[in-house]
Structure 1
């Protein structure tokens, strides 16, 4: 039997948390359920889960604060936010602090499971990808490190690394906006598109030392990395 993926679920609505827990357990996940952010942080440190599913509004410590603290320790663990919030700034904040996906309540369990499996698949891809040279940079995708010449490497976030990986795979060709949004964000809606724009801006800044490298915005289609 395949080893179960360990998921830390932080959800302060007891009934909803139990429903999610039981549904995931029927799909061969091992679920650690916590009802507040402080307890979730303690369980994270003790149990080393592989995926985090965090409600944004929780007592003692909200999901965004919890994610920020965990990202200081682990920059690669996949994080999915669950929230009733729908304002653009909240969605962008969630991705900016290191979230990998964002699911608005109410949601279907099938959608959550698909998104979890998508993130697990990306994690496996990350482990098998090769070190890549692009311009004067070296990109270590498995470790999510980007280095310029002999300078010390900088750590990319999970989503930055995957977005750069796909840009490099499609170098000098247009990376379809809708395709990459669905692949990395799970949806191509307005909020996800705004989030991707933020990540593209971050990557441009990190590639700025090699002026031959550019990430071009191909209006109406997507982005293109050129060298």
Structure 2
């Protein structure tokens, strides 16, 4: 059975060494880089393309040559669907917001126990694999005047194509499956993010803002918020 491949970017040698060993014990294949530039070189090298591609990334925020945020931006240009986690010793609100806007799947503040990282990775990969499995069944279907391509992660409208991320596709699919129903926020978080903690809640708010922009060309579609309760993905049919 092929191991899950992780790209770890961590400039603290002792901490990075411990994380690499701990992840390997838990049956992950880990490629560890000591700075952002080295990590990006690893990501784009021929050795790790196609069947050798990384499954998930774990980036420290503060690194020499290329910080974690810039590294994530460059990686996402090559593969918009790859999930990633930020590690940081800082608790600054601005850093968390920037990570959320980039589409981070999680944000872990140091110090933390290594088994917490393992659990977070397993939860993210479980959701990712579930989505990939359903996507392989292959379907395109109409959402109002849009066509949602679940295989290629695309929203199509009047000949225009909007490329979306895997997490955005998961959220759209969940909303569509529960269209015209009031959904509790915690239910959305548990089913799409796998947790209803503060970070995931803020992340969901960012993703919902993106979805509102994607669907704004069709006035029959709306994502309505009911304060203190939840959300409704409303599709008005004639």
TM-score in terms of structure 2 length: 0.88
- Pick one of 200, 203, 212 that aligns with 2:211: 203
In the alignment, which of 137, 141, 145 is matched to residue 146 of structure 2? Answer: 137
Alignment of 1:13-92 (within 5 A): 13-46=12-45, 47=48, 48-92=53-97
The one of 186, 197, 218 equivalent to 1:178 is 186
User: 1:209 Cα shift?
Assistant: 1.1
Aligned-residue RMSD, C-alpha = 1.7
Structure 1 position 189, deviation (Å): 3.4
Three-state SS of the structure 2 residue aligned to 1:172 is: coil
Q: Which runs of 5+ in 2 are unaligned?
A: none
Tell me the SS of whatever aligns to 2:156: strand
Give the superposition deviation at 1:174. Answer: 2.5
1:87-166 matches, cutoff 5 A? 87-127=92-132, 128-129=134-135, 130-148=139-157, 150-166=158-174
Of 78-87 and 37-46, more deviation after overlay is shown by 78-87
Determine if contact 1:36/1:61 at 8 Å carries over to the other structure.
Answer: yes
Contact persistence 1:9–1:52 (CA under 8 A): yes
Structure 2 contact 124–194 (Cα < 8 Å) conserved: no
Shift in Å, 1:74:
0.8
Q: 1:37-65: per-residue Cα shift (whole Å, max 9, x none)?
A: 00000111122311100001101100000
Deviation sequence 1:112-163 (CA, Å, 0-9, x none): 1122122222222332234332111111123221111x32211112322222
Cα offset, 1:183, TM superposition: 4.3
Q: Is the 8 A contact 2:174 2:192 kept in 1?
A: no
Q: d(CA) in 2 for partners of 1:152 and 1:57? A: 38
